[in-house]
Amino acid sequence: MKKLVYICLSLSVAAISCKKDLEKFPQGQLTEENVFTEANDFKLAIDAAYLPITNRFRGNWDWDLGSSIPREWVIGDVMSDDAVKGGGSLGDQEDMRRMETFSVFPENNNVLGIWRFNYKGITAANTILQQDGSKVPGMDPALMKRIKGEAYFLRAFYYFRLVVNFGAVPLMIPEKSLTDNTKKATVAEVYTQIEADIAQALTMLDPSYPDAADYQRATTGAAHALLAKTYLYRGQWQLCLNEIAEVEKGPYQLLDKFEDNFNGLGERGGEIIFAARHDAGMIPSQGSILNAVWAPQGKGWGFNIPTQDLVSAFETGDPRLKATVMRAGDKWVDGTTDYQAAWSPLTGLNVRKFMSNVALIDDGGTDYIYIRLADVLLWKAECYANLDQPANALIPLEAVRGRARKYATNPVTNLPPVVTTDKVALLAAIRHERRVELAFEGQRYYDLVRWDLARTVLAAAPDADPLKGYKDYGAGWQDRNKLLPIPQREADLLNLGQNDGYGN
């Protein structure tokens, strides 16, 4: 247990910092130079490399340093039209409010959090990838190969999150002698490295794990899906489809019920391709604190509050609404208490997705999904639509809608199949489906940006209500918001040039 503690602490503080600091090793602590002496050390190290994607309680609520929990949901949800900040007051977590109103400054703690968490993950992956392991007593070569495959995948995953949020960033790839964190790589160079890491991962990973306890680990399917997503974001439709075809060869299937992806029942049911694992009731805590962050005021902190605009986007009878949003007349996640709209003064709504009914405070047992099959199928539909192949696009779109229709209020009339072959109308239908299918999975804002719709959807609104956050987009989305600013702390330490529109 002591080694686990030291490894996790060592990796968590090894985030990107000034180069001289990286060359200093802690005295009297376990480091990458002296810790890898047993086979189990590698298992502990790869587990630590997954930590930055989890929403686990980390012993403090250090919001100002961006170190409480990963912040992509602030970008994906709160900066979109799906959610408002919420919280205890207008000024509660002011930096989140600045994100939703697009008055983002380099000092924003959410920006720092995204940077720090992803570079922590990269540092953890690099620590493993620099080890040989062949002379470690009892080290199974097959296990070592798999662990390195996971590390390659995770490094690619973390760099993808960095490049979509910040654009050009430092590449830290020790095996290529890329160790200068004062120099930005171009966006193209970052994507090239992501592709290279995924290619390596695919030679080392398997489609699944024989031990069910390893279900959350990276697989070949996750690697193909991540590569498909990188192609999707770059508009490389056929390359994306090629990777999706590889994903579909894996052991994935849509769950019978949409909601089972988010209530803990279907975590091992085959739809989830990659997720952050959360287990309630463990010591030390391994549960999700989103239960506290997203829960209604009085039961939690009440952040990430759904908008009525999102609710209105769901078609009549769509069962996904009840599984996504809590409204008056619903049951709270304990299954017995009536949900009260007064619990959410801003909109009368709260998030239901990922709200675990195993533990209701800050130790939730529901995994947080990053990629699942329904998401991939909608990528497939989007690619075919953009390639002017509407008949092929309608098939995966119908697979997703058909699953929802099965449990609609009236399956005969609700959620009718999309039949249009007009490209504009078909893309609109796919975009609608992504919104209602993937709400609160951190996708909406990124979708609006890559579709070039953010300027329109998130424009300054004459009917905005700043007191409630309703359509409170400030002066509206601007071109500079395509990327976040480089955190001021890092820009100052490393002399990194600032992103356009955020000063020098």
pLDDT digits (tens, 9 = 90+) for 312-364: 999 999 999 999 999 999 999 888 899 999 999 999 999 999 998 776 778 89
- pLDDT at position 10, please? 41
Place of tokens 């097959």: 142
> Which range has the worst mean pLDDT, 92-101, 191-200, 318-327, 399-408?
92-101
Q: Tell me if residue 337 falls in helix, strand or coil.
A: coil
| Residue-wise DSSP of 135-196 | TSTT--HHHHHHHHHHHHHHHHHHHHHHHHHHSS----BGGGTB--TTSPPPHHHHHHHHHH
pLDDT tier, 467 (very low <50, low <70, confident <90, very high otherwise)? confident
Residue 8 has pLDDT above 90, yes or no: no
More reliable by pLDDT, 400 or 32? 400
Closest by CA position to 261, among listed 305, 323, 310: 323
CA 324, chain centre distance (Å): 17
Taking the C-alpha atoms of residue 246 and residue 108, their distance in angstroms, rounded to an integer, is 39
pLDDT tier, 504 (very low <50, low <70, confident <90, very high otherwise)? low
pLDDT tier, 135 (very low <50, low <70, confident <90, very high otherwise)? confident
Average pLDDT score over the chain? 90
Most confident of 10-24, 63-77, 85-99: 85-99
Q: What is the CA angle 373-218-186, rounded to 5? A: 90
pLDDT tier, 126 (very low <50, low <70, confident <90, very high otherwise)? very high
Q: Which residues contact 269 (CB under 8 A, 6 or more apart)?
A: 253, 255, 260, 261
Residue 310 has pLDDT above 60, yes or no: yes
- pLDDT at position 227, please? 98
Residue 405 has pLDDT above 60, yes or no: yes
CB 161 within 8 A of CB 118: yes
- pLDDT at position 124, please? 96
Residue 3 has pLDDT above 80, yes or no: no
Taking the C-alpha atoms of residue 447 and residue 161, their distance in angstroms, rounded to an integer, is 14
Q: What is the CA angle 157-21-155, rounded to 5? A: 10
The Cα-based distances of 484 to 39, 53, 109, 472 in angstroms read: 40, 19, 12, 19
Mean pLDDT confidence for 23-28? 36
> Which range has the worst mean pLDDT, 10-14, 35-39, 296-300, 406-410?
10-14
- pLDDT at position 432, please? 98
pLDDT (tens digit per residue) in 221-274: 999 999 999 999 999 999 999 999 999 999 999 999 999 999 999 999 999 999
Closest by CA position to 150, among listed 33, 242, 274: 274
pLDDT tier, 151 (very low <50, low <70, confident <90, very high otherwise)? very high
% of the chain at pLDDT higher than 90: 77
Residue 293 has pLDDT above 70, yes or no: yes
- pLDDT at position 65, please? 73
DSSP 288: B
The Cα-based distances of 224 to 54, 220, 491 in angstroms read: 21, 6, 33
> Which range has the worst mean pLDDT, 57-71, 131-145, 476-490?
57-71
For residue 103, give both structure tokens. 């008055």
Q: Residue 497, Cβ neighbours under 10 Å: how many?
A: 11
Most confident of 82-96, 424-438, 458-472: 424-438
Q: What pTM does this model have?
A: 0.92
Residue 4 has pLDDT above 70, yes or no: no
Residue 64 has pLDDT above 80, yes or no: no
Mean pLDDT confidence for 118-129? 96
Residue 121 has pLDDT above 50, yes or no: yes
For residue 206, give both structure tokens. 């398997």
DSSP 290: H
Q: Which residues contact 205 (CB under 8 A, 6 or more apart)?
A: 146, 149, 150, 153, 218, 219, 220, 222, 223
Mean pLDDT confidence for 473-499? 95
CB 132 within 8 A of CB 139: no
Taking the C-alpha atoms of residue 380 and residue 106, their distance in angstroms, rounded to an integer, is 36
DSSP H or E run through 273: strand 272-276
Residue 67 has pLDDT above 80, yes or no: no
The Cα-based distances of 109 to 66, 95, 407, 448, 483 in angstroms read: 5, 7, 41, 23, 15
DSSP H or E run through 274: strand 272-276
Taking the C-alpha atoms of residue 494 and residue 304, their distance in angstroms, rounded to an integer, is 33
- pLDDT at position 154, please? 98
pLDDT tier, 19 (very low <50, low <70, confident <90, very high otherwise)? very low
- pLDDT at position 221, please? 98
- pLDDT at position 329, please? 92
Residue 14 has pLDDT above 50, yes or no: no
pLDDT tier, 31 (very low <50, low <70, confident <90, very high otherwise)? low
